[in-house]
Amino acid sequence: MGEQIEEITRRQSYNNLANTLLTFNEDVHLIKDEDEILIPATSLKQGDIIVVRQNSVIPADGIVEKGEGLVNQASITGESLPVEKNQNTSVFAGTVLEEGVLYIKVLKVGKNTKVQNIIQMIDNSQSLKAQAQKRAERLAEKIVPLNFLLTGLTYFLTRDITKTISTLMVDYSCAMKLVAPITVLSAMKEAASYGISVKGGKYLEEAALADTIIFDKTGTLTYATPVLESVFPMKEFSEKDILKWAACLEEHYPHPLGRAVVKAAEEQKLKHPEEHTKVDYIVAHGISSTYEGKKIIIGSAHFIFEDEKIPVTEEVKKLQKLANKNENSMLYLAYDGKLAGIITIGDPIREESKSTIDILHKLGIKKCVMITGDGESAAKKVAKETNVDVYISQALPEDKVNFVENQKAKNHKVIMFGDGINDAPALSAANVGIAVDGCSSIAGDTADIEINNNGLENLIVVRKLGDALIRKIGENNAKIIGINSFLLLGGMFGFIPPTLSAILHNSLTIALSIDAMKPLLPDTNYYNGN
């Protein structure tokens, strides 16, 4: 009955999530006969041309016919920064156009979109997820017939009712079926004291037995908050000048990279009064203005060197090479027709990422993998600084699922650790899915374990707690079998009368039940490899 209720609840949760993700409250702007008309999103069909403007949700999968803009694809790929979209590039339902205007040819709608595919992958993975067997209960069920066999054998050999009753007063299954669940519940309660929500004791066991852990990058190994990493000025300019001018331009537009620049200028207390003329924003490219009668621009390499024709000198190439070592996103600033400097923006790595991965290796994790939708350079940098064994960049949700399934097919037990909608299918497909604090609702609902406090370090607690749980149940089973076997033999040979046999048997069950309520982890520093 419990499993049926769990399945019904899970099914309802997926239906609600799917409806939420696939429902758009806003009408869609359809281009028909060169006119723009409003229609319900549910009326869209393949081949329609729609126009999507700034801060609107893209209602269908499609391809850009014309226009350009920046699209937040975090719900699909997990990328922390918006992605530039222009003619002939693909867009997906559920993503948000942060800047610009896009004319999109509809390719897939409703249940055929990539968002729906994510929901379907979650559903399929859950239906395939094996239910963990409770070894203690299985052992108890196997031993019950032996208890009756031993009782019958005692009577057959001795014809002594007292000895027979003494053996009948003792059994193994009672204690096993009582103590094991108490141990599991106690472990889940202990996990909760660390801010770890566990949906079932079996997931702690699976986490302890896992040999592979897969990390998403953005929001798990990193903070998902762009910050200014460094400023590289040309010889005739200073770092302060570059940062001040950049902040002066970027403060007019709420782009994530721009916000990082403005924040850095504020932290350094750099004042940048409005000394420039009107600011012109070129969508998905950069910003242009005039400062002290000279043209000043900031933006991407494409905007600076190709659109604005800023010369690429040997000095510029050296500066680019130096900035590229950071393997971060880059903003270029040019003044009076030549490059003034380069600003690098990064997604800072969590302080505990490297140490946590090192400790997980010590605790028996053989392979730590990072899979991300971000580009190669950003993925390579994080992989290098966190000591992951393998990294995969530019991955879609189905790529993550395929990797998980591939590892499971090779008899690896897999933990998936993520936080976004794009991680949800892999969270579901893994032996154990763990979601991080602040995750999307669908990731939290899909995950088997949710970590609320201390971030990555609580992975160590999960691993240790699961290992301690397995060890505790095994020790209790050994005690139950050993002591009860002694009581049975004592009854068979007449050393222990029925009353005493019953008292000792029940006392053992009570004592082990009380012991099972004690914390599994020692009162030491849990966040280390010991």
Question: How does DSSP assign 126-195, residue by residue?
Answer: HHHPPPPP-HHHHHHHHHHHHHHHHHHHHHHHH--HHHHHHHHT--SHHHHHHHHHHHHHHHHHHHHHTT
Position 420: which residue type?
G
> For tokens 């600011």, what's the residue?
279
pLDDT of residue 457: 87
Rounded to whole angstroms, the Cα distance separating 48 from 30 reads 7
- pLDDT at 172 (0 to 100): 66
pLDDT value at 302 more than 50: yes
What average pLDDT does range 403-416 have in this prediction? 94
The percent of residues above 90 in pLDDT, for the chain, comes to 22
Give every CB contact of residue 357 below 8 A, 6+ residues apart in sequence. Answer: 368, 386, 387, 388
Over 80: is that where the pLDDT of 166 sits?
A: no
pLDDT of residue 342: 94
Tell me the mean pLDDT in the region 451-466: 85
Residue 57: CB atoms within 10 Å = 17
The pair of three-digit structure tokens given for residue 31, joined into one six-digit string: 């281009």
Domains assigned to the chain:
20-114 (2.70.150.10), 136-184+462-516 (no CATH), 202-223+350-452 (3.40.50.1000), 227-346 (3.40.1110.10)
Tell me if residue 149 falls in helix, strand or coil. helix
CA distance linking residue 267 with residue 256, whole number of Å: 17
Q: What CA dihedral angle connects 87, 92, 96 and 101, to 10 degrees?
A: 20
Joined together, the tokens standing for residue 259 give: 């916000």
* Phi (first) and psi of residue 197, to 5 degrees: -100, 120
Residue 297 bridge partners (DSSP): 288, 334
Q: Which amino acid is at 121?
A: M
> Which residues, 6+ apart, have CB-to-CB distance to 351 below 8 Å?
none
Q: DSSP character for 527? A: S
Tell me the whole-structure pTM to 2 decimals. Answer: 0.67
Would the CA dihedral through 4, 6, 9, 11 be positive or negative? negative
Characterize 494-508 residue by residue with b for buried, 16 or more Cβ atoms within 10 angstroms of its Cβ, and e for exposed. eebbbeebbebbeeb
Partner residues linked to 104 by β-bridges? 50, 64
Question: Over the stretch 173-221, which tens digit does the pLDDT of each residue have?
Answer: 677 777 888 888 888 888 888 888 888 788 888 999 999 999 988 888 9
Question: What pLDDT does residue 3 have?
Answer: 43
Report phi then psi at 45, rounded to 5.
-140, 165
Task: State the number of CA atoms in the 13 A half-sphere of 162 facing the CB.
Answer: 8
pLDDT band at 482 (very low <50, low <70, confident <90, very high): confident
Nearest by Cα to 198 from 132, 251, 137:
132
DSSP assignment letter at 335: E
Which residue in 438, 84, 102, 392 sits closest to 257, CA to CA?
A: 84
Higher pLDDT, 451 or 499: 451
What residue type is 106 in one-letter code?
Answer: V
374 in helix, strand or coil? coil
Non-local (6+) Cβ contacts of 522 within 8 A are none
303 DSSP 8-state letter: I
Classified as helix, coil or strand, 129 is coil
Which residue, 441, 461, 442, is CA-closest to 451? 461
* Residue 43 exposure: Cα atoms within 13 Å on the Cβ side: 12
Pairwise CA distance, residues 51 & 64, whole Å: 10
Residue 329 has pLDDT above 60, yes or no: yes
Q: Quick one: tokens of 434?
A: 């763990």
pLDDT-based confidence at residue 1 (cuts at 50, 70, 90)? very low
Q: Residue 347: pLDDT band by 50, 70, 90 thresholds?
A: confident
